[in-house]
Homo-oligomer: A and B are copies of this chain.
Amino acid sequence: MDIATIAGLLTGVILILLAIVSGSPITTFIHIPSMMITIGGATAAAFISYPLKTMLGVVAIIKKTVLCKTPSPIDLIGKVVKYAEKARKEGMLALEDESETEEDEFLRLGLRLAVDGTDPQLLQKIMDNDIMALQRRHEVGIGVMQSLGTFAPAFGMIGTLVGLVQMLSNMSSPEGIGAGMAVALLTTFYGAFMANVFFLPLAGKLKHRSQEELMLRDLIVEGITSIQTGDSPRVVEEKLKSFLAPRERELIGKKDAA
């Protein structure tokens, strides 16, 4: 998990904890039934929205997408250009070894297809299908987090309504009103807390990681098809560098010189 995610989560939780303990005993904010209706309800709604298998798979997608580092596009371009040079000099078949040892799963697929002499249009089609399927899987993961982020405040409000109706229909003593309102508001607090500290920011991270990974795959498809059509390594590099920000492009230059 990258440091920003951990730091962000800890900071968010600690700031709210500080605000709580500075003004009241922490026990005021712990109410198990309220937690159950908010978190349990949101999870139940998500389980209705998505099939069981998907819900179980989502944890894996989230873990993988958040924990795994997306490889640096600069390194990736370096690798692809190296392959282009080898293919130029020794022919496509010279990449057979690399098509088995290459670490990046998607680049390996591309190399294998190219080495097998797959028709360029077919290769493009297979790799595009692959990208679209990945995008679909990512969107499911993002969708689950977003629907948790929508349902959590909704069930928070449902809990508060239940609490308000109970309090209002039973106003024997005016002293109890304050305490009843406090408990009723706790579910709204839990819902807003879960949604804004966990679900929505994590949905944002997933979305961002997904875009990064899809961009890298577009870059790989561009590189493989460029190698396959016999572009010179310099043209391959030029094409791929256009995916980078100007500042990053200079880093490639420096690396080359070094």
The smallest C-beta distance from A186 to any residue of chain B, in angstroms, reads 6
**Known contacts A19-B162, A165-B182, A182-B169; A51/B208 CB under 8 A:** yes
Interface residues of A in 103-129 (CB under 8 A from B): 105, 113, 118, 122, 125-127, 129
The number of times this chain is found in the oligomer is: 5
User: Contact at A126–B192, with CB atoms within 8 Å?
Assistant: no
- Asked if residues B158 and A127 are in contact (CB atoms below 8 Å), the reply is no
A112-148: CB near B (< 8 Å → 1, else 0) gives: 0100001000100111011001101100100100010
A123's nearest neighbour on chain B, judged by CB, is B238
Selecting from A41-49, A82-90, A92-100, the interface stretch reads A41-49
Q: From A122, which residue of chain B is reached at the shortest CB distance? A: B235
The contact string, 1 if C-beta is below 8 Å from chain B, for chain A 25-36, is: 000110001101
Q: Determine the residue in chain B with the shortest Cβ distance to A119.
A: B235
With a cutoff of 8 Å between Cβ atoms, the chain B residues found around residue A192 in the complex are: 154, 157-158, 161
B168→A12 contact, CB < 8 A:
no
Q: Does A76 contact B (CB under 8 A)?
A: no
Please state if B169 and A133 are interface contacts (CB–CB under 8 Å): no
> Chain A binding site: helix, strand, loop or mixed by DSSP?
helix
Cβ-neighbour of A245 out of B2, B8, B122, B137 (below 8 A)? B137
Question: Does the CB pair B205–A185 fall under 8 Å?
Answer: no
For residue A195, which residues in chain B have a CB less than 8 angstroms away from its CB? Answer: 154
Give chain A interface residues in 1-40, CB to chain B under 8 Å: 2-5, 7-9, 11-12, 15-16, 18-20, 22-24, 28-29, 33-34, 36-37, 40
20 further A-B pairs in the complex, CB-CB below 8 A; given A11-B44, A126-B238? A5-B47, A5-B48, A8-B45, A11-B43, A12-B44, A15-B40, A20-B166, A29-B165, A54-B208, A122-B235, A129-B243, A130-B242, A136-B215, A137-B245, A140-B208, A143-B204, A147-B204, A158-B189, A161-B189, A169-B179
Interface CB pairs A-B, < 8 A, 27? A4-B47, A5-B47, A8-B46, A11-B41, A12-B40, A15-B44, A18-B33, A18-B37, A19-B34, A19-B159, A24-B170, A45-B196, A48-B201, A48-B204, A49-B200, A51-B208, A122-B235, A122-B238, A126-B242, A129-B242, A136-B215, A154-B192, A162-B189, A164-B182, A165-B182, A168-B179, A169-B178
